[in-house]
Amino acid sequence: MIAFVLRRFAQAVIVMLAVALVAFVMFRFMGDPITNLLGQDATVADRQAMMERLGLDRPMPVQYFDFISRAVQGDFGISYRMARPVSEVILERLPATLELAAVSGLMALLLGVSFGVYTALRRDGWLSHVIMTVSLIGVSLPTFLIGILLIWVFAVELGWLPSFGRGETIQIGWWRTGFLTESGLKSLILPAITLGLFQMTLIMRLVRSEMLEVLRTDYIRFARARGLSSRAINFGHALKNTLVPVITITGLQLGAIIAFAIITETVFQWPGVGLLFINAIKFVDVPVMSAYLLLIALIFVTINLIVDLLYYAVDPRLRVERPKAADTT
């Protein structure tokens, strides 16, 4: 158990170091940091002094290490475009993205699993066919078009819901939440559906095919032969076995939600970190870009780690044998 956790953890650290290297190279070599700080007409002496002050004249590994240690402390430098510390800007924007992602993820998970189980158990029901057809369209539509379609129907034509922004928000400590006001909640609906729909269809299809697979297994047949109730068979036996492989993919999907938030935030002008990142790319705001890169990587690596441990907790086979099945080689 401990060896398994440690190995996973080591892998996570290696991935983070690699991503940090990319972020560092961006930070250090993209554009000219000295010119960015001093302007075009700085003297050679001024430039030299600045270089020494920033430590840019030291050997590269030292600078890399320095970059990492500052990043660990939350220091990502100053945004070129906003002239404010990057960590401050990100912290300010993070609650918006996290709230959106949490609601979408929850929606995708709950609906995805329920629809998946339903369509697997009632394979030939008309409702299953409707759900499957809609999901097929959902998978092939690009996210931003779904968002625009929703805006068109619910904001433009029906006028029920706002089409952009977060509505009214309330500040609680450093966290600015939209959960506590009516306009905040209303503003959340369309973006959350847009962001969650794709992941929901993926989870649903995965749960459905896994469940169908499991329902065909001998142990389900044997459970039937033992006269267990269909409730016990479908939800006790089949669903638990279905969820083992589903956990992995679902976990990764939740990570993908944070990434896809970039698109949704652009469609709905949602003031989160995704929109911040897009603007950073447009204006080549390198410190923001590299900080976002590290943030996203951290989120993904953490989710991966949690998923692995969860997998381990659910499947007793992994606890005794060598944890081979969870390995991705």
Would you tell me which residues interact with other proteins (CB under 8 A)? 15, 18, 22, 26, 29-31, 140-145, 148, 151-152, 155-156, 163, 217-219, 221-230, 232, 236-237, 240-241, 244, 252, 255-256, 259-260, 262-263, 266-267, 278, 280-282, 284, 286, 289, 293, 296, 300, 304, 314-317, 320-321, 328-329
Instruction: Tell the smallest beta-carbon distance from residue 263 to other proteins (Å).
Output: 6
Q: 45 or 225, CB closer to other proteins? A: 225
Look up residue 299 and give its two tokens. Answer: 């989120």
Nearest distance from C-beta of residue 284 to other proteins, angstroms? 5
Our CB check for other proteins shows the closer of 6 and 153 to be 153
**Is the CB of residue 178 less than 8 Å from the CB of residue 188?**
yes
Nearer to other proteins, 176 or 254 (CB): 254
CB of 101 closer than 8 Å to CB of 258: yes
Can you say whether the dihedral through the CA atoms of 159, 163, 168, 171 is positive or negative? positive
CB of 174 to other proteins, least distance (A): 26
Tokens 């992941």 sit at which residue? 199
- Report the alpha-carbon distance of residue 268 to residue 266 in Å, rounded: 6
The answer to whether 188 touches 182, Cβ cutoff 8 Å, is no
Q: Rounded to the nearest whole angstrom, what is the least distance from the CB of residue 59 to other proteins in the complex?
A: 22
Report the run of H or E that residue 171 belongs to, with start and end: strand 170-172
Closer residue to other proteins, CB minimum distance, 278 or 310: 278
Smallest separation (angstroms) from other proteins to the CB of 267: 8
Greatest alpha-carbon pair distance for the chain in Å reads 87
Residues in the chain: 329
Minimal distance, residue 239 CB to other proteins, in Å = 11
Torsion (CA) 249, 255, 256, 259 in degrees, nearest 10: -170
Tokens for 297, please give them.
């990587």
Which is closer to other proteins, CB of 182 or CB of 321? 321
Q: For residues 169 and 234, which CB has a smaller minimum distance to other proteins in the complex? A: 234
Give the C-alpha separation, 94 to 272, whole Å.
Answer: 6
